[in-house]
Amino acid sequence: MLSSRFFRRLFLPYLVLICAATGAVGVFSALRFRWAFLDHARQTLTEESVLVADRVSPELAAGRTGSVNAMVGELGKGLGCRVTVIGDDGKVIGDNESDAGQMENHRLRPEIVEAATNGVGYSIRHSATVGSDLLYLARRAQTPSGTTYFVRLSVHLSELDRELHLLYGTLAGVALSAMGIAAAICYWFASRQAAPVRELASFAEAISRGQMHRRLLPEADGELATLSTALNTMADSLSTLVTQLARERGELLAIVGSMSEGVIATDLRQRIILVNDKAAELLDFPAEGAQGKALWELVRNEPILRAAGEVLAGGERRLFQVSLVAGHYLEVAACPYPATGKTEGLVLVAHDTTRSVRYQELRKEFVANVSHELRTPLTVIKGFTETLRDGAMSDPVAGPKFLTTIARHVDQLTNLVNDLLELSRLESSPEMPRRVSVDLGSLTRRVTDLLAPASQKKNQALTVDINGPLPRVSANPDYLERAVSNLVDNAIKYTPEQGRVSVSVWAENGHVAVEVSDNGIGIPMADLERIFERFYRVDRSRSRDMGGTGLGLSIVKHIAQVHGGSIDVASTPGSGSRFRLKIPVPTDE
């Protein structure tokens, strides 16, 4: 499109200019030819008028006007023009083409008036007598006797018109030929000039479409070749710059995408120009299609929107906390960019502090739970110690009873401290120490044998079902024994007398599963999700009376996790509970 317009701008002006010049030359030539013809005719008629005056003067002087008319006829034939002799009073004496007696008075004819004044007069006009255009030349003359008269010669301009028409036809043909040749030359010249421009336009369009490999081949010399070389150099620099920008943008997107913080960048109108998936997750909006939208269309949190507006207005960095955005606690930093100079946009960085907040809450809860768990036995020990010191030591019945109570609470404190230390070791050790090949079926049977007396004491039916042979697992036997022991011990504790406790071991889907089920008191549905938390008890008073620390199931969960396994529970209040521990089998088994 650009090249065609350029071609027309080159071709049409030159063509119009040449056509105008050719037309002007043709018109000037025609006018020049007409003027030359008329000038030649005037000169000829001037000379011939002298000859006619010399011939008719003697006849006029002798008064033989009749012979003048005959002489004028002969002279007109000889000269090839119209000859008219006019008296000083304007009366026509003789004419070779019309009857002199019938002709009008010619004294006021322009050529006669001019001849009377200047001696010679010229005129071109239409003759009513002969009905055509004529060139008139009148000469004032005198007879030898001094009588003034006028000799007028005239020629028809039809011959001049024929010559001019022939000339005009010739000039028109020459002009058309010249225009055709000029058009061809202009077309060739315009095409030659437009071809590089067309190539330049195609090159520019290719570069605008991202075809950075496109280059110009300079075929001409001079300025176009210099321009082609400069554009090629520009394209090389632009290609390098685009590649560098693409690489930097890719690196930026990779960095932003891999960040654990949510990042949103906007322009001055708060239109989003950059956003990562983490920001969409933390602020609860779809990441797809977010770019180009207004910040308020996606982020519905009033403190964030207010801070964004204040930062863009004031240009100062803001750091603030946002609570419970899509279930997250956030720390948000709002900064203008660039950091110095005129603000062009806004960067929001959202850091998820949910875990930190939860850790703080858990720490407070842990401290409260530990304090509570320690306070009760310590209070009991202190109370009974003071009672013994006040004299109950010598009481043969109360003394031993109080000492037994003190010993039981000391054991509870010891168990609590041991469980805390064990849980701390599990949480702080990323890897399981001393892994060996363990037969989980044999380990389970050994645990149930150790706990069988406690079950028999409550007249419970403790059964063990080992579905073997079982693959061996890679584990720490002490930890696994502790986990299975906690599960069986809990089942015995929370199952009433004459109840049933069943332990089963089998292999399934690359795991060895240990399932402990009972028909005890069960666990309410609302408590199932929290029973693996530290110090969580369904019935605190009953659990404490049974010697529980509230850490047993938490220890089981951590032991399962450090072995790459899992623990799950199902329970119905009043019908019993079922715990299932799964430990993965090594792939080389």
> In this structure, what CATH number is given to the domain that contains residue 560?
3.30.565.10
Q: What is the pLDDT of residue 237?
A: 81
pTM of the model: 0.42
Bridge-based pairing of strands 576-584 and 272-275 is unpaired
Question: Is residue 265 a contact partner of residue 345, using CB atoms and an 8 Å limit?
Answer: yes
pLDDT bin (cut points 50, 70, 90) of residue 195 is low
DSSP string, 314-334: H---EEEEEEEETTEEEEEEE
Residues 17, 147 within the same domain:
yes
pLDDT bin (cut points 50, 70, 90) of residue 372 is low
Q: What is the pLDDT of residue 504?
A: 93
Residues 333, 464 within the same domain:
no
Residues 39, 116 within the same domain:
yes
Q: What is the pLDDT of residue 486?
A: 84
326, 351, 376: which is the final residue of a domain?
Answer: 351
pLDDT at 108 over 80: yes
pLDDT bin (cut points 50, 70, 90) of residue 589 is very low
> What average pLDDT does range 105-124 have in this prediction?
87
195 lies in some domain? no
Residues 149, 119 within the same domain:
yes
**Both structure tokens of 579:** 């715990």
466 lies in some domain? yes
Rounded-to-integer distance, Cα 351 and Cα 502, Å: 48
Cα dihedral value 403, 409, 412, 413, nearest 10 = -110
Task: Count the domains in the chain.
Answer: 5
Q: How many residues does the chain have?
A: 589
Question: Is residue 576 a contact partner of residue 518, using CB atoms and an 8 Å limit?
Answer: yes
- The CATH number covering residue 400 comes to 1.10.287.130
Residues 63, 132 within the same domain:
yes
pLDDT bin (cut points 50, 70, 90) of residue 288 is confident
State the helix-helix crossing angle for 398-428 and 552-562, rounded to 10 degrees. Answer: 30
Residues 39, 90 within the same domain:
yes
> What average pLDDT does range 29-55 have in this prediction?
80
178 lies in some domain? no
Q: What is the pLDDT of residue 412?
A: 63
**Both structure tokens of 435:** 């892994």
Measuring CA to CA, which residue among 465, 463, 454, 452 is closest to residue 506?
465
Q: What is the pLDDT of residue 369?
A: 61
425, 448, 463: which is the final residue of a domain?
Answer: 425
Q: What is the pLDDT of residue 502?
A: 93
Residues 565, 466 within the same domain:
yes
Q: Is pLDDT larger for residue 62 or for residue 491?
A: 491
Beta strand extents in 294-413 (DSSP E only): 318-325, 328-337, 345-352
Residues 268, 252 within the same domain:
no
Displacement of CA 90 from its chain's centroid (Å): 98
Question: Is residue 352 a contact partner of residue 260, using CB atoms and an 8 Å limit?
Answer: yes
Q: What is the pLDDT of residue 500?
A: 92
Q: What is the pLDDT of residue 1?
A: 47
Residues 463, 578 within the same domain:
yes
Give pLDDT tens digits for 466-481.
887 889 988 888 888 8
580 lies in some domain? yes
Stretch among 69-83, 144-158, 341-355, 405-419 having the lowest mean pLDDT: 405-419
Rounded-to-integer distance, Cα 33 and Cα 162, Å: 12
Measuring CA to CA, which residue among 126, 168, 133, 153 is closest to residue 55?
153
211 lies in some domain? no
Domain around 504 = 431-584
Residues 386, 450 within the same domain:
no
